[in-house]
Amino acid sequence: MPAERDHDATSTAATRPALNDWREALRREWWIPAATLVFLTVAIVAKVFPQTEVTAARVAMAGLVLTGTPLVWRTLRGMLAGIFATDVVASLAILTAILLFEPLAGLVIVLMQSGGEALERYAAGRASDAVRELEAAAPRLAHRLHADQSVHDVPAEDIVPGDLLLIRPGELVPCDGEVVSGHSEVDASRLTGEAMPVTAVAGVTLMSGSANGDGPLTLRATARAGESQYARIVALVREAQASKAPIQRLADRYAIWFTPITMLACLLAYLASGDVMRVLAVLVVATPCPLILATPVAIIGGINRAARRQVVVRTSAALEALDTITVAVFDKTGTLTIGRPRVRTVHVHGSLGAQDVLRLAAAVEQSSSHLLARSIVDAAHEQKLLLAQASDVVEYPGRGVSGQTEGHLVTVGALS
């Protein structure tokens, strides 16, 4: 029977400093929107209380220069590198607000742009954690068998096709391979969605990331760890994360033309009114930071929420296309399961009632870690049945379990 374990010595990843890089970067960037809120409050005070207008306006202007300079400098560096995006309009609005001594309008733009970027980094970082969780759950060590039957622990990435590996009970399969000897039940639900464990015997192929049960297995590697099924799943999620949805590509494409059109609108507004404040008004209205940032945040969040639920989205375009889908075709029933069976009904023959049969079976199954055993015990708990302690419990790998409870010899398992 398979013994499912969350992590063990062979599957726990070493701590990587890179895992917290996005959090550190986020902490460095949050000061801009936080400080902007403070200075924006001061600017509002300057408008509401005339007696403090001069002092408050100067403080707000200093805050605009302080918080706006990093954003303008970042945009300027991008322009020098040939990147002309919609943040150019935002930077022009900030500079114009400084020149016209209008801190309120400038601080609103700074808050919108810096806050949006911070939220995007937060969403992208949280989303990337899903991929890191997948990577962290991958096997890190493998037990390589040598000709003299000695066992050496090696990093999973050192495995080459043809290597003989020992998979101990409770460990994860480090790479795709074929069982050479041994007998066990293997839980592959994380990869396939199939609730029933795979009976691993000689000749059966296993995928990396599957959890071995209670029997040792000898496996012949058929692929490197980095080329195995689990690694391909992680790569697919990363590829989808990096891809852009059609609506996002459209926004990027038209962003190149957005800046000159905005500048033309500013010029027309000035020529028509003769008021330079109209230029600032056009720049403020034309700053579309939330619109541009909304798409990648939604796409990244959707892909990685799906990844946490073991759903791999091939590309972000596919995720966007879900909105137009009316028919879905699935090639395998296992992909539609939750990975764990439940007891639906109990059919009885003889004098015992359904609750009696379930109670006795669950009492014996308490000693088993098999997937179906847990489902039977859960069903008994849901009905609030009191389970006695079973004795003389014997488990037959791949067959079932038997034991004594309440004066009955109870056997639970396969029919044949």
- Residues marked as catalytic: 331
What type of residue sits at position 79? M
Q: 332: helix, coil or strand?
A: coil
- Closest Cα to residue 89, out of 70, 75, 77? 75
Tokens of 298: 């939604």
The answer to whether the CB of 108 falls within 8 A of the CB of 40 is yes
The answer to whether the CB of 304 falls within 8 A of the CB of 241 is yes
Q: What radius of gyration, in Å, describes the C-alpha atoms of the chain?
A: 31
Task: Give just the sign of the alpha carbon dihedral 109, 114, 119, 123.
Answer: positive
Task: Give just the sign of the alpha carbon dihedral 37, 38, 40, 41.
Answer: positive
Q: 206: helix, coil or strand?
A: strand
Q: How far is CA 208 from the centre of its chain?
A: 19
The answer to whether the CB of 185 falls within 8 A of the CB of 200 is yes
The answer to whether the CB of 215 falls within 8 A of the CB of 168 is no
Q: How far is CA 151 from the centre of its chain?
A: 35
